[in-house]
């Protein structure tokens, strides 16, 4: 199955005056987990929203560049069409329908037209197997689930759209380390058994690099560095600022960044 | 206030405190003032009269924008507060022949008291429920006004003689123009300064996310009520001025449609924008006159002429829709876009550093 | 007994129109002030159909209802959808403008004259008697229609996938779009159904009483039952309509017939003081569309 996401020189503008991201190019080959990392405000979520088709009209819009999936241009399409083509977003906040029950949440996902009802039923069974906690709470109102269960429901909901590419926005926020490890494991399992590619946006770089096949680092709206996890882990600046393993000691974040950035990135 | 599209570059504390920071802005404001002062000298009386109405409407629009645009509480009771001002003047003048320097402050004070009565119960309510509470307030005031009129005024309105201070009588469009201009300018300055102060910032916070605002230590109830009180006080003043200007007070003048007109003013002008209130008031006041001219001049079928009100309201609705669809943030945003275009030229938008 | 009949009929009328308010509020988070005018327009369309077909109900009813549905969808597509993302105040004003426009156009097309669609019906509406209460075939029909409408609506919302998706889109349009739901179709459906209900109510109201441009005032009063039941609750309109109808009929009977117009607002004020979000509504703040 040749499916791949390719972004070329994406640029997005906020309120027609402020540039949010510029010159962003990245690739997610089929069946791979790619991680997009960076601090707050670096433009990671904007990139995801651009792919998912949420950047239309005021106040945000795509100003230049293109997004390709399976050699088909998808930028500027409405969100439900993007889902129909196999790309599903698991948002950072507001990721489940609070007033619906767990079962209804899953019922709300629309499968692409190429999927038969039988295949959809099969997927539903697979999802319940993957997340047994949801099976137990099938008829509970989703608003009463805990943080980890919500994330599971969000991913389950996304899986029921039969995605070929999952866009996951900061799924480790607010979760305990054990739960994070569990969810990351499930992501790998999804990649292995269902062949789903993942574009993982994360601030938690160490967690992301555990599962990613490739990583991109964004700062202030641009991609500044990319490489395999080993390459990233051995890079001095990544160690310093994103992994907290730097050897420069107690110097202030700001001085070091200014000085070294000019030379490194 | 919207940020300057090409960036804000201030060089001193004094410029931070100033209302109009750059020399260009000061120039435009001055030019506008000069134009405004010279206007009555080259316009005919009819249009001066229209501008006078627009000035009174502007005071009302500024007031509405304070509570609805800035603090985010959609008030559907505006016509009621105008009525409060008008009827205060009417009652004080008709029964006790009070002079204008008593009735105007009285109108403001009574307006503020009414604002207190409307604001305090609405503390519990948010969103549409608050709007409906203001609507209920309007109905209540309107029925009181109609009651008064039928009992004490024989069903007709109250006639008001022109205001006099000492031996000087305020009459004639020109004289009214300068008085109203001064009052509107004062109201504008008041609003600009309120918006720049900690009160304005508290209002903005309440508009965006009042839970977060109260978590930051802003006393939401206090500022909400303050918004109502100041707004109704100003609206009451506008109503009082209307009473004196049109020399007539009647309950029929304060229909729900009047509230809609004022909402249209601030929406077409731009929610939360002082300039928007002024532009919107001008636009909406001018519109019926322009429509009337258009219907007279252009060939329309006969039914249009007989149902002239339907045509007027229909065209008003179409124009409102056009505005709301093509520029929902109003005239002020259009102005902002034009400014941004020139400020950023030759770039289309501010590039990344 | 007669009072009970009056209350029931009025409840049915209010419930049908109020349901429209609730559907639109859930779908677009807007309080549609155009709904009274939409109801009035539905009445005019029905009347025109009756006259044009010479009293043929089998043709007029479906055409009028279908037209009502399409008008609702058209209002959404033309007026509300382009304004997605803007402050609720703007959108409420759009509904006001649309209402005014519909009223003006209706006045220009059908003039301000009061019309009596009952005269165009193919049968004379003779009153039946049960006990000492008089009510007509039309009243019975209106009760039946309202009942069917509600049962069908609830079945749609609670039992079908489409209903789940409508509720999902009502709660969180963004997330719904991300789940592959075509939110515009779903929201348009809500608007169409709202207008359908209003037209249904109009058909019964105008044949029972009369039809004129000011009929929109009747429609707009129905927002009170919607509010009392809870703007978020499709089922809440039933008790809401019952309460308002009860108060109105009793007030007209025992206090003053003139109070009919202001009775709903008195109930409204009371409700706002005691329980602003209605009997079954959820507490919420205003969100952007």
Dig out the tokens for C267 from the structure.
Answer: 């109930």
| Chain C residues within an 8 Å CB radius of A55 | none
Identify the weakest region by mean pLDDT among A176-180, B7-11, B232-236, B333-337: B7-11
Asked if B63 contacts B108 with a C-beta cutoff of 8 angstroms, the reply is no
Q: What is the pLDDT of residues C157-185, one digit of tens each?
A: 888 889 999 989 888 888 898 888 888 89
Q: What is the pLDDT of residues B86-102, one digit of tens each?
A: 999 988 888 888 888 88
Taking one residue from A and the other from B, the number of pairs with CB-CB distance under 8 angstroms is: 23
* Alpha-carbon radius of gyration of chain C: 19
Q: What is the mean pLDDT of residues B30-42?
A: 83
Q: State residue B331 phi and psi, 5-degree precision.
A: -60, -35
What is the pLDDT confidence band of residue C125, given thresholds at 50, 70 and 90?
A: low
Residue spans of the domains in chain A: they are 5-97+162-234
Closest CA to A115 of A83, A91, A140, A146: A83
β-bridge pairing A87-90 and A165-169: parallel
Residue by residue, DSSP assigns B222-233 as HHHHHHHHHHHH
Closest CA to B228 of B339, B42, B81: B81
What is the pLDDT confidence band of residue A190, given thresholds at 50, 70 and 90?
A: confident
Distance from C-alpha of B224 to C-alpha of B218, rounded to nearest angstrom: 10
Distances, alpha carbon B114 to alpha carbons A9, A31, B81, B118, B183, in Å:
58, 67, 8, 6, 22
Distances, alpha carbon B326 to alpha carbons A2, A15, C82, in Å:
43, 15, 9
Looking at every residue in chain A, the average pLDDT score rounds to 83
CB contact under 8 A, A19 and B351: yes
Q: What is the pLDDT of residues A28-39, one digit of tens each?
A: 988 889 999 888
Residue B206 has pLDDT above 90, yes or no: no
Cβ-based interface (< 8 Å): residues of A facing B = 13, 16-19, 22, 63, 220-222
Q: What is the mean pLDDT of residues B215-228?
A: 83
CB contact under 8 A, B340 and A19: no
Distance from C-alpha of B65 to C-alpha of B270, rounded to nearest angstrom: 9
What is residue C286's predicted lDDT score, i.e. its pLDDT? 34
Asked if B352 contacts A220 with a C-beta cutoff of 8 angstroms, the reply is yes
Asked if A52 contacts A87 with a C-beta cutoff of 8 angstroms, the reply is yes
Q: What is the pLDDT of residues C191-222, one digit of tens each?
A: 999 999 999 998 888 888 778 777 777 777 78
A151 Cβ contact partners less than 8 Å away, ≥ 6 residues apart: A95, A171, A175, A179, A183
| Chain C residues within an 8 Å CB radius of B267 | 89-90, 93
CB contact under 8 A, C277 and B263: no
Asked if C48 contacts C106 with a C-beta cutoff of 8 angstroms, the reply is no
What is residue C84's predicted lDDT score, i.e. its pLDDT? 76
Which value does ipTM take for this structure? 0.81
Given 2.60.120.620, 3.40.50.300, 3.10.20.30, 2.160.20.10, which CATH number is that of A5-97+162-234?
A: 3.40.50.300
Buried b (16+ CB within 10 A) or exposed e, C1-14: eeeebbbbbbbbbb
Q: Give the minimum alpha-carbon distance from B337 to chain C in angstroms, rounded to a whole number.
A: 17
**In order of start, what are the domains of chain C with their CATH numbers?**
2-122+141-274 (1.10.3470)
**CA angle (A255, A13, A170) in 5-degree steps:** 65
Candidate from A16, A17, A19 with C-beta closest to B352: A19
Provide the 3-class DSSP secondary structure of residue A141: strand
A29 touching C (Cβ < 8 Å): no
What is residue C284's predicted lDDT score, i.e. its pLDDT? 53
Q: What is the pLDDT of residues B143-154, one digit of tens each?
A: 788 878 877 777
Candidate from C179, C182, C282 with C-beta closest to A109: C179
Instruction: Please list the residues that pair with A223 across neighbouring strands.
Output: A218
Q: What is the mean pLDDT of residues B6-35?
A: 71
Candidate from B124, B314, B320 with C-beta closest to C105: B314
Percentage above 70 pLDDT, chain A: 89
Distance from C-alpha of C164 to C-alpha of C176, rounded to nearest angstrom: 11
Helix axes C137-159, C183-208, angle to 10 degrees: 170
């Amino acid at each position: 199955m040749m499916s791949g996401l390719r972004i070329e020189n994406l640029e997005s503008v906020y309120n027609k005056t402020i540039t949010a991201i510029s010159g962003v190019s990245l690739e997610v080959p089929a069946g791979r987990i790619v991680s997009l990392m960076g601090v707050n405000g670096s433009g990671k979520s904007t990139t995801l929203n651009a792919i998912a088709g949420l950047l239309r009209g005021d106040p945000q819009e795509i100003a230049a560049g293109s997004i390709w999936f399976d050699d088909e241009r998808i930028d500027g399409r409405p969100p439900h069409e993007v889902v129909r083509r196999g790309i599903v977003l698991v948002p950072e906040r507001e990721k489940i329908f609070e007033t619906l029950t767990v079962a209804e949440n899953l019922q709300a996902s629309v499968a692409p037209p190429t999927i038969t009802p039988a295949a959809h039923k099969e997927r539903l069974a697979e999802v319940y197997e993957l997340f047994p906690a949801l099976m137990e709470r099938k008829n509970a109102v989703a608003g009463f689930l805990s943080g980890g269960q919500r994330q599971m429901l969000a991913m389950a909901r996304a899986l029921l759209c039969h995605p070929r590419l999952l866009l996951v926005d900061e799924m480790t926020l607010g979760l305990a380390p054990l739960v994070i490890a569990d969810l990351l494991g499930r992501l790998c399992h999804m990649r292995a058994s269902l062949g789903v590619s993942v574009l993982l946006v994360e601030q938690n770089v160490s967690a992301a690099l555990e599962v990613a096949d490739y990583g991109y680092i964004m700062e202030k709206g641009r991609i500044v560095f990319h490489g395999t996890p080993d390459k990233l882990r051995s890079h001095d600046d990544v160690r310093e600022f994103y992994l907290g393993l730097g050897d420069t000691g107690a110097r202030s974040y700001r001085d070091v960044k200014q000085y070294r950035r000019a030379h490194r990135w | 206030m919207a940020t300057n599209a090409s960036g804000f570059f201030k060089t001193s504390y004094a410029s931070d405190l100033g209302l109009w920071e750059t020399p260009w802005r000061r120039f435009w404001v001055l030019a506008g003032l000069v134009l405004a002062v010279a206007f009555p000298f080259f316009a005919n009386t009819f249009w001066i009269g229209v501008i006078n109405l627009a000035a009174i409407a502007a005071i009302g629009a500024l007031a509405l924008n304070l509570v609805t645009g800035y603090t985010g509480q959609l008030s559907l009771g505006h016509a009621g507060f105008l009525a409060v001002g008008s009827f205060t003047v009417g009652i004080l003048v008709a029964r006790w022949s009070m002079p204008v320097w008593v009735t105007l402050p009285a109108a403001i004070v009574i307006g503020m008291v009414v604002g207190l009565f409307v604001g305090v119960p609405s503390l519990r309510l948010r969103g549409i429920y608050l709007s409906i509470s203001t609507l209920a307030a309007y109905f209540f005031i309107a029925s009181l006004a109609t009651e008064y009129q039928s009992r004490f005024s024989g069903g007709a309105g109250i006639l008001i003689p022109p205001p006099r201070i000492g031996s000087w009588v305020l009459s004639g469009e020109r004289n009214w123009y300068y008085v109203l201009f001064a009052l509107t300018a004062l109201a504008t300055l008041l609003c600009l300064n309120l918006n720049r102060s900690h009160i304005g910032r508290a209002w903005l916070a309440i508009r965006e996310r009042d839970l977060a605002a109260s978590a930051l230590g802003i006393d939401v109830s206090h500022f909400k009520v303050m918004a109502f009180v100041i707004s109704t006080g100003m609206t009451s003043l506008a109503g009082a001025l209307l009473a004196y200007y049109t020399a007539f007070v009647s309950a029929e003048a304060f229909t729900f449609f009047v509230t809609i007109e004022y909402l249209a003013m601030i929406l077409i002008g731009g929610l939360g924008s002082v300039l928007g209130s002024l532009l919107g008031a001008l636009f909406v006041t001018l519109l019926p006159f322009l429509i009337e001219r258009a219907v007279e001049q252009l060939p329309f079928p006969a039914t249009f002429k007989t149902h002239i009100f339907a045509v007027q309201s229909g065209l008003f609705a179409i124009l409102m829709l056009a505005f709301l669809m093509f520029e929902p943030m109003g005239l002020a945003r259009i102005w902002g876009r034009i400014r941004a275009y020139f400020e950023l030229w030759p770039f289309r938008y501010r590039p990344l550093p | 007994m007669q009072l009970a009949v009056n209350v029931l009929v009025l409840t049915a009328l209010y419930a049908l129109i109020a349901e429209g308010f609730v559907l639109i509020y859930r779908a677009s988070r807007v309080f549609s002030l155009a709904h009274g005018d939409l109801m009035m327009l539905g009445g005019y369309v029905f009347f025109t159909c009756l006259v044009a077909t010479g009293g043929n109900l089998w043709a007029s009813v479906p055409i009028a209802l279908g037209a009502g549905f399409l008008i609702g969808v058209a209002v959404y597509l033309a007026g509300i959808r382009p304004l997605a993302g803007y402050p609720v105040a703007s959108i409420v004003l759009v509904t006001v403008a649309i209402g005014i426009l519909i009223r003006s156009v209706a006045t220009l097309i059908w003039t301000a004259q009061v019309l009596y669609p009952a005269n165009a019906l193919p049968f004379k509406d003779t009153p039946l008697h049960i006990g000492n209460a008089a009510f007509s075939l039309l009243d019975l029909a209106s009760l039946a229609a309202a009942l069917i409408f509600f049962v069908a609506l609830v079945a749609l919302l609670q039992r079908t996938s489409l209903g789940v998706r409508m509720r999902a889109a009502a709660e969180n349009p963004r997330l719904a779009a991300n789940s592959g739901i075509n939110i515009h179709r779903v929201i348009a459906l809500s608007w169409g159904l709202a207008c359908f209900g209003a037209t249904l109510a109009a058909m019964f109201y105008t044949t029972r009483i009369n039809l004129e441009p000011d009929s929109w005032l009747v429609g707009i009063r129905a927002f009170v039952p919607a509010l009392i039941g809870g703007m978020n609750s499709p089922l809440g309109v039933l008790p809401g309509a019952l309460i308002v109808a009860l108060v109105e009929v009793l007030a007209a009977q025992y206090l003053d017939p003139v109070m009919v117009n202001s009775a709903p607002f008195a109930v409204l004020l009371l409700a706002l003081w005691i329980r602003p979000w209605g009997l079954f509504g959820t507490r919420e703040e205003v969100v952007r569309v």
